[in-house]
Amino acid sequence: MEQAIRDAAEVGAVLVLGFLGHGQSPKASPRLHYMASDSKPGELLGSIDIGALLIRAADHPGIGGGIGLVDTCHAGAALPESSDLKGGFSMGATRLSVLMASAAHQKAYDLDFSRTLTRLIRQGLPGRGPTLRAATLKLALGESLLKQNTSVLELDGSPDATEELWITVNARRPDRLGGRTGRTGPLGEHDLSEAMAAELPGHSHPPGGWTRTALEELHDTAAGPVGALWVEDVAGALIRAADTVTAVEDWAEGELTLTGLRKALRELSRLRPPGAGPEDERSAPPDGLSTSELLRYLVEYAVLRLARVGSGANPLARAVAAVGIHCGLDTSDPRIQAWARRTGCAAELRQAHEAYDRTSRDRALRLVVSLQAAQVDWPDSLLAWLLDGADCLERTEWACDPTRAGVEQRLAEIVLWADARVAERAPVRHIDIAAPAPLLATWQPETVRVGPYRLGARRTVVLRWARRLAVPSHLTGMNEFARRQLEELDEIFNGPGAPIDWLGATATQVLDALRERLSTGIYRRAIGLDHRPSHLGEVLEAVLPYSPIVLWPRGEQGIADDERRCLDEHWDRLPDRFTEAYAHHWQQEYADAVADPLLDRLARLSAAWHDPGWLDFCQRTSQHHQQHTPTTPWSA
């Protein structure tokens, strides 16, 4: 710490000190002592007085200021003594900000303060200027941390300070917003460079980047005597994109979220027609985009990718409707309606919103079939739930022969039964199959015949692990851990590529060693097997408790680089995309269907996938099982 203080003072920098872990504070003396690995409870010897250390940092000659971030129990006791703040060698010209996770008498829980602060720094705060102070972040933290009271100290006694002490640049700062001053995103830069290299090789790029004004000038040049039609088309699309970004930001008033925009982008990527080509498949944005930058990426994807491959309805209308749905915005708002009228897509915006509503209703209608009664091989009964969102319309148990043929025959009957129960909305297009690990390893339920078609030919089938429906005592808490892992996948591992930790043959060879390795918590992402072990069922049984998403190869050839690249491209559309890939593979075998290499590679994989919606269902099912009889319909 002392060396860090000296280093900061040498260059006049502001030093940020973070304390995460354990702290103790004597009841008679409200001072926080940070505990190291050799510290002992109830002893000051071997622990660190955080308040005194912060004063040493802020009072050191030449330092630009000190910022303390304290995430321990009793964090509020880290406040330095007032006499130290007023005096010292700087004679009160001290610059210090301290943001504390809890009050002096409170506990802090599970590093929630640090996790929430990280999210706020990544996402930024709307309407708060270019930088975020400790006091500003304290207010935002208070909205999320309900079990602990964050506190803050801000002191700036320096007569020479030219700006306030701030913790982070605001990811939603004004200079990142707006279609007129904002720059073209990565998709626009790529397509514009490609078009200009072909048609206007001598035309220079503007030093200030491709702002809307620069795009207008380029568009006019391309539309003139030179006749650069490709450049004209791309520049025109980017002008429309810039206007749309401005309109959406005005409409949203800072309510856009990274999570909502990623979901909207996922919706848009589903509009890509089969066989459009791998170059048009890429919808994964670069890592580290701010909210405004991701919005621009999404809009450019709509005008440059979907428009090119012919996605049906106006891609911009679909993009705006998707943003509205997933960010909770009202598409009847006069501001976005004015944009729709200017662009001539008012009717299409309404139709797109209605289409998303229909899609949401279709997805809400699901059939869950569980084989959890299986003890060794196939079960002698199946449990079925017919769901409409969080509501269970009906729950029944079906006896069956404990053979593959018996289970598949009963599964087909259950699907037809579900269709009949909701005849006005049939067919039920989303089927969840919950099975034990040995059956997940060998069974492909999407191939079961239901009426004239295979189950996966006209419906989406998602595999789930049955133990998450009825968690055994030795795995208590695994669904809660899975939920936290999914949050981390969404908030932390949100860059390009699939967030998968791969296990090789050496790692899975000895099951006891594998279980011991998994129990350390080393794997925070999805887990993939890059091979198909001979004891796959046992390996899956060992791995499935430790990740909400587990993938493995269907064939003996294992996972090659092509399959990994395919997962990178399709990740945002999984798990639903698996069924589409299987159906595409079947059609390739029996007909001259349009080839899609990415779907062919995806069809070589299987996955057990447990998203937040499924974990919610598991929680409701567990609560119902404790309170009701097996055949009572219930509503969450």
Residue 311 reports pLDDT greater than 70: no
Q: Of all helices (H) and strands (E), which one includes residue 41?
A: none
In this structure, of 255-259, 391-395, 522-526, the range with the lowest mean pLDDT score is 255-259
Amino acid 250: pLDDT? 85
pLDDT tier at 630, thresholds 50, 70, 90:
very low
How far is 437 from 414, CA to CA, in rounded Å? 22
Q: Give the burial class of 442: count Cβ atoms within 10 A of its Cβ; 0-12 exposed, 13-18 middle, 19 or more buried.
A: exposed
pLDDT tier at 273, thresholds 50, 70, 90:
low
pLDDT tier at 491, thresholds 50, 70, 90:
low
In this structure, of 45-54, 65-74, 208-217, 385-394, the range with the lowest mean pLDDT score is 208-217
Distance of CA 437 to the CA centre of its chain: 26
Amino acid 120: pLDDT? 85
Residue 274 reports pLDDT greater than 60: no
Residue 78 reports pLDDT greater than 90: no
Q: Which fold has domain 2-173?
A: Rossmann fold (3.40.50)
Outline where 375-523 has alpha helix (H): 404-421, 437-442, 455-458, 478-491, 505-509, 511-519
Amino acid 196: pLDDT? 93
pLDDT tier at 489, thresholds 50, 70, 90:
confident
| pLDDT tens column, 387-412 | 988 888 999 999 999 999 999 999 99
How far is 325 from 319, CA to CA, in rounded Å? 10
Amino acid 176: pLDDT? 43
In this structure, of 169-173, 470-474, 523-527, the range with the lowest mean pLDDT score is 169-173
Q: Of all helices (H) and strands (E), which one includes residue 398?
A: strand 391-399
| pLDDT tens column, 334-375 | 889 988 888 888 888 888 878 777 776 767 889 999 998 887
Amino acid 592: pLDDT? 61
Tell me which residue of 523, 344, 364, 370 sits closest to 440, measured CA to CA. Answer: 370
Tell me which residue of 237, 267, 236, 264 sits closest to 248, measured CA to CA. Answer: 264
Q: Give yes or no for a contact between 430 and 366, defined as CB atoms under 8 angstroms apart.
A: yes
Residue 191 reports pLDDT greater than 80: yes
Written as six digits, the tokens of 604 are 């070589």
In this structure, of 29-38, 344-353, 471-480, 624-633, the range with the lowest mean pLDDT score is 624-633
Rounded percentage of the chain residues whose pLDDT exceeds 70: 88
Q: Give yes or no for a contact between 447 and 455, defined as CB atoms under 8 angstroms apart.
A: yes
Amino acid 631: pLDDT? 43
| pLDDT tens column, 86-133 | 666 766 678 889 999 998 888 888 888 998 998 888 777 776 777 888
Amino acid 419: pLDDT? 93
**DSSP collapsed to 3 states, 180-207:** CCCCCCHHHHHHHHHHHHHHCCCCCCCC
Amino acid 30: pLDDT? 76
Cβ neighbours for 528, distance < 8 A, ≥ 6 positions apart: 500, 501, 502, 503, 550, 551, 552, 559, 567
| pLDDT tens column, 567-622 | 887 887 889 889 999 998 888 877 665 567 778 889 999 999 999 999 999 998 87
Amino acid 140: pLDDT? 87
Higher pLDDT pick, 558 / 504: 504
Bond from prior residue into 575 cis (ω within 30 degrees of 0)? yes
Max avg pLDDT among 246-260, 393-407, 551-565, 613-627? 393-407
Q: Give yes or no for a contact between 72 and 32, defined as CB atoms under 8 angstroms apart.
A: yes
Max avg pLDDT among 161-170, 354-363, 528-537? 528-537
Tell me which residue of 424, 418, 497 sits closest to 459, measured CA to CA. Answer: 418
The mean pLDDT value for 483-494 works out to 76
Higher pLDDT pick, 369 / 143: 369
Q: Which string of DSSP letters, residue by residue, matches 139-161?
A: HHHHHH--SS--EEEEEE--TT-
Residue 479 reports pLDDT greater than 90: yes
How far is 184 from 192, CA to CA, in rounded Å? 10
How far is 43 from 153, CA to CA, in rounded Å? 27
Higher pLDDT pick, 286 / 10: 10
The mean pLDDT value for 502-516 works out to 93
Amino acid 94: pLDDT? 82
pLDDT tier at 629, thresholds 50, 70, 90:
very low
| pLDDT tens column, 415-474 | 999 999 988 887 899 999 999 999 999 999 999 999 999 999 999 999 999 999 989 899
| pLDDT tens column, 4-29 | 999 988 888 899 999 999 988 887 67
Domain boundaries, the chain: 2-173, 177-344, 364-626
Triad 566, 300, 354: Cα angle to 5°: 90
The secondary structure of residue 635, as a DSSP letter, is B
Higher pLDDT pick, 562 / 501: 501
Written as six digits, the tokens of 527 are 């887990």
Q: Which string of DSSP letters, residue by residue, matches 573-592?
A: GTTHHHHHHHHHHHHHHHS-
CB atoms inside a 10 Å sphere around CB 417: 17
Q: Give yes or no for a contact between 461 and 431, defined as CB atoms under 8 angstroms apart.
A: yes
How far is 397 from 491, CA to CA, in rounded Å? 39
Cβ neighbours for 139, distance < 8 A, ≥ 6 positions apart: none
